[in-house]
Chains A and B, each alone.
Chain A
Amino acid sequence: MKSSVIIFPGSNCDRDMDVALKKFGFKNQMVWHNDQSIPKSDLIVLPGGFSYGDYLRCGSIASKSKIIKSVIDFANSGGLVLGICNGFQILTETGLLSGILQQNKYLNFICKNVYVKVKDKKNKYFKNIKKDILELHIAHNEGNYFCSDDEKKSLEDNNQIAVTYCDEKGAETDENNPNGAVKNIAGIFNEKKNVLGMMPHPERMIDKYLSGEDGSLFFENLLGNIK
């Protein structure tokens, strides 16, 4: 399976994503933001970081970058596009995903482990995943997901909410909502569920010596579903 990770100036989780994808069997290649096109891929990943310094708004300049048209075309033709953290912010800025990511409710950067509940398994990302609750890691300043009531209704009606912040047992409480996101949303799909954006970083949780291992489940499962 082939994957491509896009590097924007200011991306800083590109290497981590490359390591994770390769560890679980993807043939990954790195693509520079100024390139005209993306090599043939089964999955495109927009990694975390601070693309273009997050100037103007997080992800906003990246959403107008040279490479992004190819990403949008790929997504519109049904290709799998995964955006993590800054990648999620970029996807909302391009309009591939609805809503926006605001500054965290308590105005501070947050780096810690969180639990998220998998809300939908009828998609390539989470089909067959062995757990309903994953322990993942977040590290962001703007992860407070917000959308209009109409958008929220349509996300719910179409089961586009991918993962939500919860406690160890799956309760989606305020105390376990680290950034104030609407409905504890940690990640969402587009309508066709080929595009996923999420704040948590599965690539930082890929062996037991790190913060945890549930990221491994995510990648193994994703590879299995694409095959």
Chain B
Amino acid sequence: MKVTESIAADHGLKKEEFAKICKQLNRIPNFTELGIFSAMWNEHCSYKSSRKHLKKLHIKGKKVIQGPGENAGVIDIEDNDAIVFKIESHNHPSFIEPYQGAATGVGGIMRDVFTMGARPIANLNSIHFGSPQDKNTKNLLRGVVKGIGGYSNCIGVPTIAGQTSFDESYNGNILVNAMTLGLVNKNKIFYSKASGIDKPVIYVGSKTGRDGIHGASMASAIFDEKIEEKKPTVQVGDPFTEKLLLEACLELMADNSIISIQDMGAAGLTSSSIEMASKGKLGIELNLNKVPCREENMSPYEIMLSESQERMLIILEKGRENKAKKIFDKWNLDFAIIGKTTNSEKIELFFDNKSVANIPINLLAENAPIYDRKWKKTKLPQKIKIKKDDFKSLNLNDCLKKILKNPNISDKQWVWDQYDQTVMGDTIQKPGGDAGVVRVHGTNKAVAASVDSSASYCFAHPVTGGKQIVCESWRNLISVGAKPIAITNCLNFGNPEKEKNMGEFVECVEGITEASKYLDFPVVSGNVSFYNETKDKSIKPTPTIGGVGLIKEYKKMLSMDFKKEGNIVLILGKTEGHIDQSIFAKEILAEKKGPPPSINLFNEKNIGETVLKLIDQNLIDTCHDVSLGGILIAVSKMCIKGKKGIKINPIKGLINKFQYFFGEDQGRYVVELSKINIKKVKEILDKNSVHYDEFGTVDKAKIIFNNNINLSLDDLENENKAWLRKYMIN
């Protein structure tokens, strides 16, 4: 078949892009080559719209062993231990086929982590669905949760934290972001950079089938009414094979046979082979007849573009082939020598003894297009005007009950119960707290991790929103007693060819960068998902931050459940009553406008570090950060979890009680401490200039505030826990 501009267009390549290919090759590519170009030059693999801006991210730090650009980021957690982690999106496939889309998302991110020699020790996820009233939401939620569980439960890696949100902007584009943490010896990390000429290129894992062909291109396009036709582009996962692949790879990694290793993720054999060669400034020669295929008569085009799961590409030291093969035989996995490294700096493919592709690597990697897309700034919105009368008809009891059952506040146990949270025997904080925590097996250390996003804030003002999520991640880690180390980000946005969407991306990245620099909380890995748009309607900008921190003595870890009657409850950080963009504004005042709460990075850092001091000196028993819903929601959840109540003190100052209780000002924590420690705690807070309110006293099973709130623990729990369960059963 002769390749034309229109065939190239069907592959998602723009007219200018096709012209550039022809010019640089000095000829028209053949069909296989066109497929390879389309796979490497799409947004998903090339980062052509985002690369310019991603360069600004703060990526350096004392604890960073490997920043962005590898399969995953790596941080130092002392004693020769390192944590490998990354978050990745699988949005488009999950909307088309929720179970397989979500499952293979989890499978893919785990491969990214064990490719580097790390054993996965924890999974997290951030999933976002359309309005609960949308006809697709229930099935998508059910399918995604089952898919995530189906894969990670089978591999035997605990899911320790996550986030589930609903917003109508996801009606046509759900988000599924999966994150994995792995543990590795700092001196035994494996990278994807090839080195050495004439080294064998090994294919291991599952056979190659016709599934997922053009998956990466599909993920780089917007959806239209023909979405059903895209089902074949979704990969099919087999967690059992991945479990075998994990064990086999770790077994082979125990010695020094591997030069470099790369999983076959998006764009399969194409991107894995090209990335390895590109990083090593080498060429690669493959005989496609040697690739283990699941189906008959697969063409070179199909073999190169298949996204069949659970496959790895390895460049091995010469002479180690037999030993390596034995390991893969033991685990019943395919093992094939399919080619070798060369000094040509080209990818050269052969099939039936004929050359089927011959492309200089740099055209596919470094020389791929980069766009400086036009973008538009988002102005800080005007503050909403609330009249005093608006509050008059309201009653605190009713507001609290109503917000507790808001889909974004309600308890998500229905989701977590479907994830194995305790396999591997080191989970010391399960989903539902501020962060998930797993012990570093056999040591006194533990690692905390959290995933966060705030699409409403980012939509209202992207720079502030970007800062806010980084701070929220930082606070969640601190709340469990972990020192925050680094983050991974999953940047989910609409169509970058639209100035508004591109502007949201640029400004969120700016906010993320500013906060991560100030907090010394660098970005070590991540991915970008654009084109989350259906029929011209794009999602709210939803950057997701996955934060990781270290607890040096796991016995000092804190949780958010109230512990003991009579203990004192303080709110650290100042409450100004910022109502705009809050759940209260949306749920009670039906008001969606206004700016998000502002971020004061100095305060964030100062309060966070002070809280860590209090925890380190064993002065507080409980800690929880104040986020969505404000103080009263934070405290109610602490009551529910601890099966305790609280007696709230009168509010000091002139602030309106609704604004005080439901305002979403940033940089605040709720802490519980016993009376004997109050003097010491106040001294430390004063010394560090941390503002605090004496909020109340832990009580029996009721939440009481003078004559305004009087609710039993059962009331709170029913409102908070019933919504999702009922929604899913009906």
Q: Which residues of A line the B interface, CB within 8 A?
A: 9-10, 12-13, 15-16, 19-20, 34, 48-50, 52-55, 108-112, 137, 139, 141, 201, 203-204, 206, 209-211
Contact = CB atoms under 8 A, between A and B. Distances in A.
A111 B431 CA distance: 11
B546 to A, nearest CB: 22
A49 B156 contact: yes
Given A53-B154, A109-B153, A109-B419, A10 B240 contact: yes
A216 B156 CA distance: 22
Interface stretch (B60-68, B345-353, B421-429, B563-571): B421-429
Contact of A111 (B241, B416, B426, B428): B416
B420 A139 contact: yes
A34 B419 CA distance: 30
B355 interface: no
5 contacts: A12-B155, A53-B154, A53-B239, A110-B418, A210-B425
Given A49-B156, A53-B240, A109-B149, A15 B424 contact: yes
Contact of B423 (A53, A141, A204, A206): A204
Interface in B129-179: 146, 149-150, 153-156
Contacts of A211: 422, 427, 430
A201 B425 CA distance: 10
Contacts of A34: 330
Contacts of A13: 156, 423
Interface in B486-504: none
Interface string B408-441: 0000000011111111111110100000000100
Interface residues of B, number: 34
A12 B423 contact: yes
A112 B423 contact: no
Contacts of A49: 156
Contacts of B426: 210
Given A10-B243, A110-B417, A210 B149 contact: no
B156 A109 contact: no
B331 A9 contact: yes
B221 interface: no
Given A50-B154, A111-B422, A204-B425, A12 B417 contact: no
B153 A10 contact: no
A16 B438 CA distance: 14
Contacts of B420: 109, 111, 139
A15 B194 CA distance: 33
B718 interface: no
Contacts of A15: 424-425
Nearest to B332: A9
Nearest to A206: B425
The winner among A9, A52, A55 for most chain B CB atoms within 10 A is: A9
Q: Which 4 pairs between the two chains have the least Cβ-Cβ distance?
A: A12-B156, A53-B240, A16-B425, A139-B420
A46 to B, nearest CB: 15
B244 interface: yes
Nearest to B244: A9
A50 B428 contact: no
Nearest to B331: A9
B238 A53 contact: yes
Contacts of B417: 108-112
Contact of B554 (A55, A108, A209): A209
B499 to A, nearest CB: 44
Given A110-B418, A111-B418, A112-B417, A203 B154 contact: no
A139 to B, nearest CB: 5
